[in-house]
Amino acid sequence: MESKLQLHGFNNLTKSLSFNIYDICYAQTEEQRLAYIDYIDEMYNAERLTQILTDVVKIIGANVLNIARQDYEPHGASVTMLIAEHELTSGEEPDNEESPGPLPDTIVAHLDKSHVTVHTYPESHPHDGVSTFRADIDVSTCGLISPLKVLNYLIHSFDSDVVTVDYRVRGFTRDVDGTKHYIDHDINSIQNYLTEDTQNAYQMIDVNVYQENLFHTKMMLKNFNLDNYVFGVNASDLDPKEAQSIEDRLRREMLEIFYSRNVE
């Protein structure tokens, strides 16, 4: 029989960060589309994703209890980690300031039970050459530090054209005098957890429900360089009209994902 984990300074608040990134590409031929998906599968296979999540666990100061990871056929991968607290050393306090996290220096935190997961979804349009890679990452903690501290690192770990971030604090925890606390840190916007260079690089909008401790931020890359999006060819080799048509399709794809609706 396995021994039970001892919990210290238990905090009943659950803080959940859901993070979705989209990388968009133009691959005109079937060969190029397959090559793009093979590239994504190699770039973000289960081993690489495990390393990214291991860094995430270090940032929030936890210990890995169990790792389940899987590569899939024909493509895609997923990793799930069960993690446990890493006690604060004497004199240390959790960093809950509304500011960006490290890239990725370790923050020692005090967590009781948590998990981190990632799933990837390579996808391609059957007709117009647009391919999209999506990664869904969830970080859930029951402890003193907010998982928002990993957001800065995660955005820099993927090539992200469009990003959606959801953060929610659920439940309540009691003070020593019995007072309920429904959130244990100040937060005005998820954007405050991003570095200045990231804020400058993305167009961002917030949809927040403060009284319910619900925070949502959408991000779309501002600068567009076609060379970063065409796969298997150079943008300079394309006919100008064709290049403009490809750019229009890619921009439309980004806008539709950003606004979560089809654009006519």
Instruction: For residue 99, indicate whether it is catalytic.
Output: no
- The DSSP symbol for 229 reads T
* Cβ neighbours of residue 184 closer than 8 Å, sequence gap 6 or more: 11, 13, 96, 144, 169, 173
Amino acid of residue 136: D
CA distance 264 to 252: 9
CB-CB neighbours of 177 under 10 Å: 5
> Pick from 106, 96, 98, 81: which is nearest to 144 by CA?
96
Whether 114 is catalytic is: yes
Q: Which of 114, 124, 140, 146 is catalytic?
A: 114
CA angle 121, 116, 98 (to 5 degrees): 105
Name the catalytic one among 124, 140, 142, 160: 142
Marked catalytic residue, from 75, 115, 119, 156 = 119
Whether residue 142 lies in the annotated active site? yes
79: β partners: 69, 118
Catalytic residue set = 114, 119, 142
